[in-house]
Amino acid sequence: MIFDTHTHLNVKDFAGEEKEVIERAVASGVSEMAIVGFDKKTIQKACFLAKKFPNLYSIIGWHPTEAGSFQRKVEVWLINEMVSSKKVIACGEIGLDYHWMKDSKEMQEKVFRRQLAIARELKKPVVIHTRKATNDTYRILKDEGVPYSGVMHSFSDNVEWMKRFLDLGMLISLSGVVTFKKSEDVHKIAKKVPITKLLVETDAPYLTPVPFRGKRNEPGYARYVVEEIAKLRNISWKEVAKQTKENAHNLFKLGKYA
């Protein structure tokens, strides 16, 4: 009954193992997954996997570390991919990354704003990546607006920032970071975020939760994210699983929740 709303089953770490990884995830209680593409190769693979497996969806967008290659022909291709399949459920992951800084802040902002405009035109929610760029990410989202809502992917700021992004209409997604002993701000967020505004994710193969930290992450490990959030909120893991899946269905317009 768990929906892993952000996983990279489309990267080389899982090449040739996708079917087995999906089967393990389902056996762990992860019934649906969103495969996130961030450049041309991973977008193509995300769309392929979503078409091949009925319980997978794709989220596609140009990552901020790829901003310099976002040209007009890329934009046209990306739009065509978004409109050609009902299984493309959001635009992402898009945003700002001031850690790697492959391209200037100005270039990243230009590409970010353009993709927010595309999402608005196509009536898609957005999935936001922000690293060491919270102030600018907030400023741009506030300027542009998020009429079809969206997700703060693997959110790890503090409760005050959480409230500000919630006020913009965003949802908060928590990853395996919530299981890390020293992630005190994320623990506070897990306790305080309204449960109707919460999503869960793995970001596999990255951000592996305890007790597998240091190893390759998998979508099936979303179970540990759900269980940790439930522990912090003092409720059952099934309640967290059910509500976060319902939230995902509502956000991504996947029809009546079952």
Spell out the alpha helix ranges (H) of 85-220: 105-122, 134-144, 159-167, 184-192
> Which pLDDT value is given to residue 255?
75
Query: Each residue of 92-122: pLDDT tens digit?
Result: 999 999 999 999 999 999 999 999 999 999 9
pLDDT greater than 80 at residue 256: no
> Which pLDDT value is given to residue 249?
97
Residue type, 138: Y
Domain ranges of the chain: 2-251
What CATH class is the domain 2-251? Answer: alpha beta
Question: Structure tokens of 120?
Answer: 């608005």
CB 146 within 8 Å of CB 170 = yes
Average pLDDT over residues 149-168: 98
- DSSP codes, 118-130: HHHHHT--EEEEE
Beta bridge partners of residue 32, listed in sequence order: 3
- Residue 80 buriedness (CB in 10 A; 0-12 / 13-18 / 19+): exposed
Alpha carbon 223 to its chain's center: 16
